[in-house]
Amino acid sequence: MSKNIENRDRLIVALDVPTSKQAIELVDLLGERVSFYKIGLELFMSGEYFELLDQLSARGKKIFVDLKFFDVPATVGRAVAQLNGKGVTFATVHGNDSIMRAAADNKGDVQILAVTVLTSLDRGDLDDLGFKCDVAELVLSRARRAVELGCDGVVASGQEASAMREKLGDSFMVVTPGIRPVDNDDDQKRVVTAEQAFTNGADYIVVGRPIRDAQDPRAAAEALQAEINAVFS
């Protein structure tokens, strides 16, 4: 897989807001500082999802469809196929081998990212879900299967990125959410800084609240872009 990634594209901003109008206001505020946006379930439930997707595409933005497809494999395959030709760069899938394979088989011009373990989960949460293994072990297992099944990459915490690179190489994308300052008091548990994520092997980071809720979102985005440039200079 070719990874000719421009530094400015490595920052993906999560549009975690309730309406398309608020999303576009944030996009316009950030301007050329951000070229890549993630749109997820909150906006999907607003009923304005594909209108927003078209608006982002018209502005020349890259788009990450984060709907974590999880259903009967044939249904997932057909849903992924619906994204072809819509200017979508990434889409997420969750689930077992047959679900990931169905997404990969129908991806067309979309790159499929398999979710490993949500960054809001820790060891205790895995126990609740019935997974009797270490978080890092589960992430590595799911990443290995995703790559073997034809997915283009994974969504994983930066805490596990270095182990994936060591064991699985550099032929797949690692997209890392849960980017936070060192002091963190929200629902994200397995977090890292932007510099740590890239040093550990991430190709992209996803940042939502630290930009959206900043006193000056533009300055927050500029600071992250400067940090990215410093890592890759």
pLDDT at 183: 45
Catalytic residue, chosen from 3, 38, 62, 68, is 68
Half-sphere exposure of 9 (CA within 13 A, CB side): 12
Alpha carbon distance 159, 178 (integer Å): 10
Q: Which domains does the chain have, with CATH numbers?
A: 7-227 (3.20.20.70)
Amino acid 178: pLDDT: 82
Give the integer Cα–Cα distance in Å for 84 and 108: 6
Please indicate whether residue 68 is annotated as part of the active site: yes
Q: What are phi and psi of 125, to 5 degrees?
A: -65, -40
Distance CA 183, CA 40 (A): 25
- Per the structure block, which two tokens stand in for 177? 């959410």
Instruction: Sort 131 into a burial class: Cβ within 10 Å, 0-12 / 13-18 / 19+.
Output: middle
Q: If residue 231 lies in a helix (H) or strand (E), which one and from where to where?
A: helix 217-232
pLDDT profile of the chain (233 residues), mean per 10: 84 96 97 97 94 96 96 97 96 93 97 78 50 69 92 90 90 89 46 88 94 94 95 91
| CA 26 vs CA 17, 56, 61, 133: distances in Å | 9, 12, 13, 40
Q: How far apart are CA 175 and CA 157, in angstroms?
A: 8
According to the model, what pLDDT value does residue 132 have? 54
What integer pLDDT is reported at residue 190 of this predicted model? Answer: 47
